[in-house]
Amino acid sequence: MFPVPLATSSEEIPVSVFWEVVLLYHNRPYLVNKLVTANTKISLYKIDCKGSFGHISELFKLSSILYERRKLKELSKESLNDDFIKSFVECYDKNFKLDKINEETFLDSFSGVYISVQVLISRRSTDHRVLELAIFDKDTNSAIFLTAYENSEDMLTPNFPYEFNWKNGCFGLNLQNFEDADTSKAEWLALTLFPKLLKWSQDDGSKNTIRSLSLVALDEYCVLYERLKRTYVKDLLKDWIDKAKTDPQKYIFEDIAISAYLICLWQNYPKEEINFVDCGCGNGLLVYILNQEGLKGYGIDIRKRAVWDIYPKETRLEVGTVTPDSSFPDATWLIGNHSDELTPWLPVIALKSSRKTNVFVIPCCPYDFGGEKYVRKNTKVSAYAEYLTYIEAIFEKCQFEVDVDKLRIPSTKKVCLVGLTSCSTDEEVVKVLEEVQPFIESKMARTFIARSNVEAVRNCTQLKRELTDRLIFLIVDFLLKEEDLVFKKDGQFWNKGLTYEIADLATIISSEDLKALKLQCGGLQTLMKNFRYIFEVDKGTVRLRQPTTYHVTKEKYRTKPCWFQKNHPQGCFNTAEDCSYKHSVP
């Protein structure tokens, strides 16, 4: 059936691992196929069919699949019912058996033929959907994938059948003919997909990886996320940069993704029962989107942001302080989106608020109960992983049923914790609070101090002048230690120095000065960017900036003294007439 071998593993694997890997690819194709953003699993069947054909896959020709697909108004669970599979088989065996099963039953079986029906959703447009059939044969240990396309349709997967098989302990990838092997899709199968499957097969399972979007329906999330982008992004971008002065690509799309996740998460609850409080709401965008989508709730933060002014009046944003003594008795959900010092307190505050208050947090900076940084104890895992475990333990001590999930957001801190309240009586709440209080007290080095409503300036502009000057001259000397000479206009040499990794500079700066820089956002890189007329910083590297000329900048800097004339060993690269900055008279 599939006589053309495209790739074969050099190492043997157990047959159970083969099926686990095949099923992982089938269930989560977006892990390796970047054209797919999600999949909707329709049905998994066990099929028992006898007839005058060699293998059941012969009944599922691509032309037949395309013919039956054209009859459907849409690719949905309603249209892709049992009758869809029956249409391929009934004419060959009227007595065939078709039984719906779950994945656990499939994995526990040692024999039989199974058919899976699912819909793949395009990353480019969630309106573009593709029907995929997979035939799993446990008797021959083979898995055949089939997708039929119209001629004008964008292909998300190979437009020809391909087979994974397990034989004599080896993992193989096969095609039906040589013509298919000489295509770009076959190249993707052999050079991208198959190596990924082999890597999965060699994983010992020791890594406790968190699946992304495991608590929501992935296909529904992707469709909703695209709709929210179309609805809100264009208008938000108009005023965002002027008001928020932050990267819209990060903050707008991040909060849209979080909004989509929460809306999907809350679909199991009647909309009128949702009443959220976003504790430390920051720019307020999450509150705005949730309010616009008909969800009741408000945000609270210690200070107002300028960007709040772009939202309509019905967006509820309040200036206030959330403390360990705060209580929100009407709230059904407390949200902590990068809530910093409040993060460990949110389960406790929710417990105090009411028996119906749940919690959603995205832990970021690791803070403990007293407002000081969390002190790690287990160096065998990352600081972030340990902090997540710590926050999860707090949830459990407060008697929340906690689930851990991973969001699709443009942030390095993607993990969220969802805590569902489990206390059924007020007496139980009181008892849990009494039990958790000694734990909290043992973790507090001092009384909790709320963040100031005046934002601290940490962009290196408030550093002592003596420290700033010392660091600048130290860095310049380092950049000039190796010469790279260029000709000045008067024919003399000028050393422009070499380019270095910013990390290299840390070796020449004292530990005391490094400590002062670490208290600033961006540290050394921010300091050098503040002096952009001296340094050129790009992608983690730094070099001296060759002084700009007057004809490029016009009058912009002409009144400011030229730093290079006074401080560079060969003076300024430009003449007084050409330089953008003011040269002093010798």
Q: What is the pLDDT of residue 285?
A: 96
Q: What is the pLDDT of residue 220?
A: 94
The answer to whether 46 touches 113, Cβ cutoff 8 Å, is yes
pLDDT in tens, 172-210: 999 999 999 999 999 999 999 999 999 999 886 545 677
Q: Mean pLDDT across the stretch 465-475?
A: 91
- pLDDT class of 453 with cuts at 50, 70, 90: low
Percent of the chain predicted with pLDDT > 90: 64
Residue 493 has pLDDT above 80, yes or no: yes
Residue 554 has pLDDT above 60, yes or no: no
pLDDT in tens, 383-393: 999 999 999 99
Cβ-based neighbours of 201, under 8 Å, separated by 6 or more? 9, 13, 17, 18, 21, 171
Q: What dotted CATH number matches 460-546? A: 1.10.10
Q: Mean pLDDT across the stretch 91-118?
A: 91
Q: What is the pLDDT of residue 557?
A: 60
- pLDDT class of 511 with cuts at 50, 70, 90: confident
Strand partners, 174: 5, 163
Q: Mean pLDDT across the stretch 247-257?
A: 88
Question: Is the model's pTM score more than 0.75?
Answer: no
pLDDT in tens, 326-345: 999 999 999 999 888 999 99
Q: How far apart are CA 34 and CA 3, in angstroms?
A: 28
User: Where exactly are the structural domains of the chain?
Assistant: 4-202, 218-443, 460-546
Q: How far apart are CA 80 and CA 120, in angstroms?
A: 13
- The fold adopted by the segment(s) 218-443 is Rossmann fold (3.40.50)
Q: What is the mean pLDDT of the chain?
A: 89
The answer to whether 92 touches 49, Cβ cutoff 8 Å, is yes
Q: What is the pLDDT of residue 555?
A: 53
pLDDT in tens, 368-377: 988 888 888 8
pLDDT in tens, 68-85: 999 999 999 999 999 999
Q: What is the pLDDT of residue 553?
A: 54
